[in-house]
Structure 1
């Protein structure tokens, strides 16, 4: 909870105690009423400060109502009628119990559906961010019915910047009210929730500064392309992008249009999720679209670096050291793009099953698979069905063969105990209730995020900068949750 929210809840309980349990008399009310009025005024100030500084959110609605009601009653208690008003013990305790239950419920809602900020990046540099709208005029959009549509992408760039002490961090979601409303409408429709439930997301902040100048450097920055999972959004990978940028990388996150909860374009249009994913052939087709998205964005990165697209990034990008990474379907895309595009030097797949395994076992570039904590258990279960001839089993067998080949050629396959699929996204910071759904694991969200960030950083430091690489050599006492897979297990 935020500061004024905590103070507001405490003042509300103080008002309740004063109202129900501090005795008053008609003849001697000066000091008592003075204290009551003081509490009432103090609560009023806190309520106004909270609404002005932190902003209203629906989780505290009951606290707002109770506080306002208590303030009115307390301020009226100096009247003789109010002082002499008698309330039976049964009614008083029943009423106080009900009020306490309602206040506790409202407080718990605000705790478990918090206004969250992303964890601070662990690198030495501040982080800037800038968003671009790119259209691939050479590629028809096949995920819409309009045959004239071209493939449009929203791309967010994260980069090292100067210390910006006098500038506020950017909001995680669009800060334009109308754009935010449209954006959240699409998100809530996908999640089948009322719009107001997600309204408080507008208060959440990243650790980045929007449209600030890139930090001057004697040499250009290596770049990492980052793809989200199927049906999510680039916003769920923001903390990973910030962390890499704070360590001297330029990170380019891609919204793969029509495969996200919501993608917001500069003209206010918002596209939702319309991707069909039911068969292996569907996976291959959509995987091809996403891979071409990555290749097209690399084209735009090269243009930014050459100055063909006007920006501050001219000459600042090391196009000879490009990496790709992604979560889930985005991880599969990172593998496919790394295999196919000679410009990508190394890649990371975070808990993503591949979308293409044909002729992919001879990858000769550094690659790392990071899997969730149930990977070993999954391997044991799969071993029982390995000899099955069905299409899915054969596909998975080929995928394991690729992983084995990656290890034997100097790459890594690791898994992190205590994690589940969405521990590789920022969703774990949105609410502790996420754990109840089973999509995140038992590991503390910040701990799990830090582990993933450290291994991704160590990998890209070695492969794109020629430094580090100690963590990916083998097990570490610092991170006992990380297990390295032996190729014999595959």
Structure 2
């Protein structure tokens, strides 16, 4: 999941042992994902809404002796509401499950809200998702069985009424890395919603380690088995990488088809369906820019450390995606780990050279691949509470101070979408070095 740099499958799914897959297969439906109702969508989708009620209420004692985690408070002026939605695409069979005549996804919608104190804080992960996350455990050196993953609460409040007095609000989609749950982008998604966005995060079913549906059903990743079938054959692995990306892009375009109708009534009333952006980390960043290339409804895209080619090594110059080979005519932002630049990332250099739209790129000194996920805040907490060595933190999230990394990631992402979805002045933050963020190094600018 997090401690490897590869954008897609080979360096992540290889970490998923048969034991982990077996553990996912027996994850109990410890708690229902909440109520679920179905309604007709726009021809090819059905929508189920679920509050995602956790097994424990916020503040209740956790399992004795297990580490409990907190997430950073959002920085925007709005409180955040949230609702989980099940979306069903009946226009295509599931590409990972032969015989299943439809594709179903779980998404989380966050939005500016009112009266948060009257509504419970949403869990970062439901019990089945938490068990799957622990079973796969791609965090280097972290004993997953020492953490109560299901106990973490977000700063979004379940079912809180939308703030319709201000708005309207642009829509931003989020896609996570391969095998990661959508929940691992909570820090960025909560913060963006608090700044006045409707944020829709997507789990790519059978790609994500574990997805919990209404009623407690948990669907585990099939990627370890698919990687096993490839048997180390380079061509088969490339074909699998291409399939992973194509499925994710199709998922994204289906979610776009559902917007804004599938949104809860409050945010639906104030969402701007003609002002849509997307971002993601690792394979999710690849997904964001490839979907933007394929679908003109996405006006701006941000890629956190995702390679844009079907390669097993990031430095390989071949097998470019169409977004890298053909470029983009709309704004995009690249943010990488320390050491990334246009000389070390051939797919980024190709995208840069072939694009006519506005683009910027930067790295944060001391950042690692997982810096741009919730690992940046949770790994140091786990290490401190369990007395783990400093090297464990460095291997997962680098040497940058967590507070600086989180602030920089949030600020640059919001500035990007503010500029291109809201026409707001960022006072040159995206145009070059700023004394506010001395750890940021920009790529050479050509547009």
Q: TM-score, normalised by structure 1?
A: 0.68
Counterpart for residue 48 of structure 1: none
Counterpart for residue 170 of structure 2: 222
Question: Is 1:131–1:156's contact at 8 Å kept on the other side of the alignment?
Answer: yes
**Aligned partner of residue 303 in structure 1, secondary structure:** coil
Structure 1 counterpart of 2:409, from 448, 452, 457:
452
Counterpart for residue 363 of structure 1: 328
| Inter-partner Cα distance in structure 2 for 1:472 and 1:199 | 38
**Aligned partner of residue 283 in structure 1, secondary structure:** helix
Counterpart for residue 266 of structure 2: 312
Whether 1:55 and 2:19 are equivalent positions in the alignment is no
Cα distance, 1:199–1:475 mapped onto 2, change above 3 Å: closer
Counterpart for residue 107 of structure 2: 155
Q: Deviations over 1:380-417 (max 9, x none)?
A: 6x4xxxxxxxxxxxxx63541212344x6421011111
Question: Is 1:184–1:199's contact at 8 Å kept on the other side of the alignment?
Answer: no
Cα distance, 1:266–1:332 mapped onto 2, change above 3 Å: same
Higher normalized helix content (fraction of residues)? 1
| Inter-partner Cα distance in structure 2 for 1:163 and 1:141 | 39
Whether 1:237 and 2:185 are equivalent positions in the alignment is yes
Cα distance, 1:368–1:436 mapped onto 2, change above 3 Å: same
Once the two structures are TM-superposed, the CA of residue 54 in structure 1 deviates from its matched residue by 4.9
Question: Is 1:234–1:255's contact at 8 Å kept on the other side of the alignment?
Answer: yes
Question: Is 1:123–1:243's contact at 8 Å kept on the other side of the alignment?
Answer: yes
Deviates more, 1:314-323 or 1:151-160: 314-323
Once the two structures are TM-superposed, the CA of residue 444 in structure 1 deviates from its matched residue by 1.6
What's the Cα RMSD here? 2.6
| Inter-partner Cα distance in structure 2 for 1:436 and 1:231 | 24
Q: Deviations over 1:43-98 (max 9, x none)?
A: xxxxxxxxx96525443xxxxxxxxxxxxxxxxxxxxxxxxxxxxxxxxxxxxxxx
Question: Pairwise mapping of residues 331-342 of structure 1 onto structure 2 (< 5 A)?
Answer: 331-342=285-296
| Inter-partner Cα distance in structure 2 for 1:365 and 1:282 | 28
Gaps of 5+ in 1: 1-51, 60-109, 175-179, 383-395
Question: Is 1:416–1:482's contact at 8 Å kept on the other side of the alignment?
Answer: yes
Once the two structures are TM-superposed, the CA of residue 335 in structure 1 deviates from its matched residue by 0.4
Question: Is 1:171–1:205's contact at 8 Å kept on the other side of the alignment?
Answer: yes
Structure 1 counterpart of 2:398, from 434, 441, 445:
441
Gaps of 5+ in 2: 1-57, 228-235, 310-319
**Aligned partner of residue 140 in structure 1, secondary structure:** coil
Q: Which of the two has higher C-alpha Rg?
A: 1
Question: Is 1:323–1:464's contact at 8 Å kept on the other side of the alignment?
Answer: yes
Q: Higher relative contact order at CA 8 Å, sep ≥6: structure 1 or structure 2?
A: 2
Once the two structures are TM-superposed, the CA of residue 185 in structure 1 deviates from its matched residue by 3.2
Question: Is 1:188–1:198's contact at 8 Å kept on the other side of the alignment?
Answer: no
Higher normalized strand content (fraction of residues)? 2
Deviates more, 1:478-487 or 1:192-201: 192-201
Once the two structures are TM-superposed, the CA of residue 304 in structure 1 deviates from its matched residue by 3.3
| Inter-partner Cα distance in structure 2 for 1:210 and 1:342 | 32
| Inter-partner Cα distance in structure 2 for 1:399 and 1:284 | 17
Question: Is 2:372–2:409's contact at 8 Å kept on the other side of the alignment?
Answer: yes
| Inter-partner Cα distance in structure 1 for 2:106 and 2:286 | 20
Question: Pairwise mapping of residues 53-132 of structure 1 onto structure 2 (< 5 A)?
Answer: 54-59=60-65, 114-132=67-85
Question: Pairwise mapping of residues 319-358 of structure 1 onto structure 2 (< 5 A)?
Answer: 319-355=273-309, 357-358=321-322
| Inter-partner Cα distance in structure 2 for 1:340 and 1:192 | 31
Counterpart for residue 430 of structure 2: 472
Once the two structures are TM-superposed, the CA of residue 465 in structure 1 deviates from its matched residue by 0.3
Question: Is 1:172–1:205's contact at 8 Å kept on the other side of the alignment?
Answer: yes
Whether 1:429 and 2:394 are equivalent positions in the alignment is no
Deviates more, 1:430-439 or 1:285-294: 430-439
Once the two structures are TM-superposed, the CA of residue 195 in structure 1 deviates from its matched residue by 11
Question: Is 1:369–1:403's contact at 8 Å kept on the other side of the alignment?
Answer: no
Counterpart for residue 86 of structure 2: 133
| Inter-partner Cα distance in structure 1 for 2:339 and 2:441 | 11
Question: Is 1:119–1:446's contact at 8 Å kept on the other side of the alignment?
Answer: no
Question: Is 2:280–2:288's contact at 8 Å kept on the other side of the alignment?
Answer: yes
> When the two structures are aligned, how many residues end up with a matched partner?
356
Counterpart for residue 191 of structure 1: 137
Once the two structures are TM-superposed, the CA of residue 239 in structure 1 deviates from its matched residue by 1.1
Cα distance, 1:55–1:158 mapped onto 2, change above 3 Å: same
| Inter-partner Cα distance in structure 2 for 1:167 and 1:132 | 18
Q: TM-score, normalised by structure 2?
A: 0.74
Cα distance, 1:173–1:475 mapped onto 2, change above 3 Å: same
Whether 1:271 and 2:271 are equivalent positions in the alignment is no
Once the two structures are TM-superposed, the CA of residue 318 in structure 1 deviates from its matched residue by 0.2
Counterpart for residue 212 of structure 1: 160
Whether 1:482 and 2:440 are equivalent positions in the alignment is yes
Deviates more, 1:457-466 or 1:420-429: 420-429
**Aligned partner of residue 262 in structure 2, secondary structure:** helix
**Aligned partner of residue 304 in structure 1, secondary structure:** coil
Cα distance, 1:192–1:372 mapped onto 2, change above 3 Å: closer
Deviates more, 1:350-359 or 1:247-256: 350-359
Once the two structures are TM-superposed, the CA of residue 204 in structure 1 deviates from its matched residue by 1.7
Counterpart for residue 418 of structure 2: 461
Counterpart for residue 404 of structure 1: 353
Once the two structures are TM-superposed, the CA of residue 151 in structure 1 deviates from its matched residue by 1.0
